[in-house]
Chain A
């Protein structure tokens, strides 16, 4: 049964390392883990995956035979200093201004 999220609020997410016995892989595939783009590692017949895991999936993962090591809570909010102000578009295009084909002849 799919877990349904309230889409107006971000779910509580953790960065986690998940250790899965090989035979449990298929069960784990049905859960909502968001695998990070790193190669899987295999140690002692366990598959190690670095993933983002919603809070409500942790119990399901453990029930499915996984060992879950929570690394940290993810901050869902985007820091405003990473977002480019919309009025900076003109600055970005300034190096191309002198070459505009649509500029009327003789225009500065």
Chain B
């Protein structure tokens, strides 16, 4: 059965009271109708400086299942963690160890019911209501479509985005005009969110950017931040032939992480969710997930958020039952979607942080802090530098799997991180340390790993040889100039490419 807004808020309040060491209740702005809205921040263990993963439900009022599944997922993760038991979702078993890892390395933010006024209106008046319940000046028509009220391309009309307050897809009087959308923005502004899922219904889809135009990976100049869109008051499908740039590595990561979630969903009972860009469903503007991903492009100081939209469930023969599946089928759909969300959590664990936890314990360690500073303060400054970070990101899921399942791999990777710390402290990559790093990389290369990871370890191996006897500052300079997949040797290297030292 579907839970009323007041009860969902009660559950948030109770959970924060029962588990004060693990759960913070973040009180957000009240809804337009004056209802309390809160999100939970769940973080077990003592590790600090965590990545955040944000799940949002109930943006569209009539999609009743998603707030309930987020509440049940919260309870399920807590029970599994506190019991040390597996989290069983149909045919998919998330091991107790995996649950422990996500709970102890991530900040999990759950905003289960983003639009409580709309949800109540669905229960009491009109079960097909989609928007919030904002009064609109100059008209008796009520409500703003919250998933059209975000800043990216706000106000650009499509077949699924409207300037008409009486439309179900009305984008509102201005971007972030609604407290319900400002609440999501606040969570993105205030916390270190790296992954996000806005959970909607229906269609069995895992959508990733972009939603307003087809993706292309070859022309960085054709990007919303560098294109004059001031003349865009509408975005018809047959014009203007515009395709939005996304980096090849980001697209690959969206497809990989989304693909892993689809597999986790399929494992529950065999149903297949399709991973695709949002625009393949229909063109939209001002959406939650595209806004979240676009933030780092509009403002390079902001963290990149890998943001997805899930469309849970399938066509049940009527609109009512598709948006509000009958029980017990609704429970099965919730299990599938939950498995997909746990997969997103798993994919967003930082592999280095995870290995570092094993190495240094829960306390903050200067090696991890120094490595994060290299990523967040140095590599982020250039495209080449970002490409090195992205190279690690693309292997993240495999590294996490290896770090949790292969003790040998985890041990060697731990030694490598510790040695990196030594090198950073000594400020010079001397030949002795360089040799040890290459030895460890060589050992990792012989593990049971994918060819793609092996090839990139090989690149690191070669680079380490080329960069020995240089200061750490010089090495950082090279990483900021030379992409990992660029051809040729490092300038000034005594060991040009092809001269293997292993």
Contact = CB atoms under 8 A, between A and B. Distances in A.
Nearest to B237: A25
Contacts, number: 153
Nearest to B78: A96
A76 interface: yes
From B6, B167, B311, B326, residue with most partner A Cβ within 10 Å: B167
Contacts of A82: 1-2, 64, 324, 326-327
A48 to B, nearest CB: 12
Interface stretch (B16-24, B359-367, B490-498): B16-24
A41 B127 CA distance: 27
Contacts of B1: 81-85, 88
A62 interface: no
Contact of A77 (B11, B78, B127, B203): B127
B282 A76 contact: no
12 contacts: A29-B157, A34-B128, A38-B203, A74-B128, A74-B320, A82-B324, A83-B4, A84-B2, A84-B7, A89-B10, A99-B83, A101-B18
B122 A78 contact: yes
Contacts of B140: 4-7
B232 interface: no
A83 B8 CA distance: 13
Interface of B: 1-4, 6-7, 10-11, 14-15, 17-22, 64, 71-72, 75, 78-79, 82-83, 122-128, 130, 139-142, 157-160, 162, 164-169, 200-203, 205, 234, 236-238, 280-282, 311, 315, 318-320, 322, 324, 326-327
A6 B22 CA distance: 46
Contacts of A10: 125-126, 128
Contacts of A25: 159, 236-238
Interface residues of A, number: 50
Interface string A1-36: 011111111110101000000100110111010111
Contacts of B3: 84
Contacts of B10: 89
Given A39-B282, A82-B326, A72 B318 contact: yes
A96 B15 CA distance: 9
Contact of A52 (B128, B162, B164): B128
A86 interface: yes
Given A25-B159, A29-B159, A83-B4, A76 B165 contact: no
A5 B141 contact: yes
A23 B11 CA distance: 50
B168 A32 contact: yes
Nearest to A42: B237
Given A25-B238, A78-B324, A84-B7, 17 more contacts: A5-B140, A7-B142, A28-B159, A29-B157, A32-B166, A37-B281, A37-B282, A39-B281, A52-B168, A74-B318, A74-B319, A76-B128, A82-B1, A84-B2, A89-B10, A95-B75, A102-B18
Nearest to B20: A101
B130 A34 contact: yes
Contacts of A76: 125-128
B139 A2 contact: yes
A105 interface: no
B319 A4 contact: no
A2 B139 CA distance: 8
A100 B18 contact: yes
A30 B11 contact: no
B282 A86 contact: no
A97 to B, nearest CB: 8
Contacts of A83: 1-2, 4, 123
Contact of B319 (A36, A81, A85, A95): A36
A15 B319 contact: yes
Contact of A75 (B159, B202, B320): B320
Interface in A50-108: 52, 72, 74-78, 81-86, 88-89, 92-93, 95-96, 99-102
Given A13-B128, A25-B159, A74-B320, A96 B18 contact: yes
A2 B238 CA distance: 26
Contacts of B22: 101
Contacts of B17: 102
A69 to B, nearest CB: 15
Given A7-B140, A52-B128, A95-B79, A86 B7 contact: yes
A28 B202 CA distance: 23
B141 A2 contact: yes
B38 to A, nearest CB: 15
